[in-house]
Chain A
Amino acid sequence: MIQGIIIYYFGDAMVLLETKNLSKSFDGLKALDNVNINVEKSKLTLIMGPNGSGKSTLINAVSGFLKVDSGKVLFEDKDITNKEPNEIYDYGIVRTFQNPEPLKSMTVLENILISERHIGEGVINALFHSKWIKKEEEMVEKAFKILEFLKLDHRWDHTSKSLSGGQMKLLEIGRALMTNPKLIIMDEPIAGVAPGLAHDIFSHVIELKNKGLSFLIVEHRLDIVLKYVDNLYVMFNGSVIAHGEGSREIERVLNDPKVIEVYIGD
Chain B
Amino acid sequence: MEEVGKMVELISLILFFFGLYMIVSLSLNLEFGYGGIPNFGKALSVLTGAIIVGGILNRLLIWYFGVSGDFISASSIACYKLTEIIIQNPLVGLGVFLITIAMAMIAGAIVGALSILPSAKLREDYLGVTLLAISEVVFFITYYDVRIIGGYYGISAPDILAFIPGEYKIYAYTVLAIVTGLIIYLFLERLLNSPYGRVLRGHRENEDLIKAFGRDIMKLRIKTVALGSALAAIAGVIYVFYSSNVTGNAFTRVEWTFYPFLILLLGGKGNNKGVVLGAFLFVLIRILIEFYKFDIKELLHLPFEAVWIQYIFFGVLALLVLCYRPEGLLKEKPIYTPPIKSKLQN
Residues of A within 8 A of B (CB): 63-65, 84-86, 89-90, 94-95, 97, 101-107, 109-110, 113-123, 125-127, 129, 132-133, 136-137, 139-140, 144, 156-157, 175, 179
Contacts and interface: CB of A to CB of B under 8 A. Distances in A.
B191 A140 contact: no
A114 B197 contact: no
Contact of B338 (A114, A136, A157): A136
A90 to B, nearest CB: 6
14 contacts: A94-B212, A95-B212, A105-B205, A106-B202, A114-B198, A114-B199, A115-B213, A117-B213, A118-B199, A119-B195, A120-B194, A129-B194, A140-B343, A175-B213
Contacts of B209: 97, 101, 103, 114
A179 B215 CA distance: 13
A3 B343 CA distance: 42
Contacts, number: 120
Nearest to A114: B202
Contact of B190 (A102, A113, A127): A127
B205 A106 contact: yes
B334 A157 contact: yes
Interface string B146-190: 000000000000000000000000000000000000000001001
Given A86-B215, A101-B208, 13 more contacts: A63-B212, A84-B216, A86-B214, A106-B202, A107-B334, A117-B214, A118-B198, A120-B195, A121-B194, A127-B191, A127-B194, A140-B340, A175-B213
Interface of B: 187, 190-192, 194-199, 201-202, 205-206, 208-217, 223-224, 227, 332, 334-335, 337-340, 343-344
Contacts of A114: 198-199, 202, 209-210, 213
A110 B335 contact: yes
A106 B201 contact: yes
B78 to A, nearest CB: 36
Given A65-B208, A157-B344, A110 B334 contact: yes
A104 B205 CA distance: 7
Given A85-B212, A129-B338, A136 B195 contact: yes
Given A127-B191, A133-B339, A140-B339, A103 B214 contact: no
A170 B214 CA distance: 20
A86 B201 contact: no
Nearest to A63: B212
A84 B211 contact: yes
Lowest 7 CB-CB distances: which A-B pairs, in order? A89-B214, A120-B195, A126-B196, A126-B194, A103-B205, A118-B195, A85-B211
A262 B214 CA distance: 37
B172 to A, nearest CB: 29
Contacts of A105: 201, 205, 332
Nearest to A172: B209
A182 to B, nearest CB: 13
A122 B202 CA distance: 15
A225 to B, nearest CB: 22
Contacts of A118: 195, 198-199
Contacts of B206: 101-103
Contacts of B205: 102-106
Given A106-B201, A114-B209, A121 B334 contact: no
B77 to A, nearest CB: 41
B337 A136 contact: yes
Count chain A CB atoms within 10 A of each CB in B214, B227, B343 and give the residue with the most: B214
Nearest to A161: B205
B125 to A, nearest CB: 19
Contacts of B217: 86
Nearest to B213: A115
Given A65-B208, A85-B212, A133-B338, A126 B195 contact: yes
A86 B216 contact: yes
B343 A132 contact: no
Contacts of B195: 113, 118-121, 126, 132, 136
B176 to A, nearest CB: 23
A100 B332 CA distance: 23
Contact of A123 (B191, B208, B337): B191
A97 B196 CA distance: 24
Nearest to A160: B205
Nearest to A158: B334
Contacts of B202: 103, 106, 110, 114
Contacts of A139: 339
Given A101-B206, A104-B205, A122 B334 contact: no
A123 B231 CA distance: 14
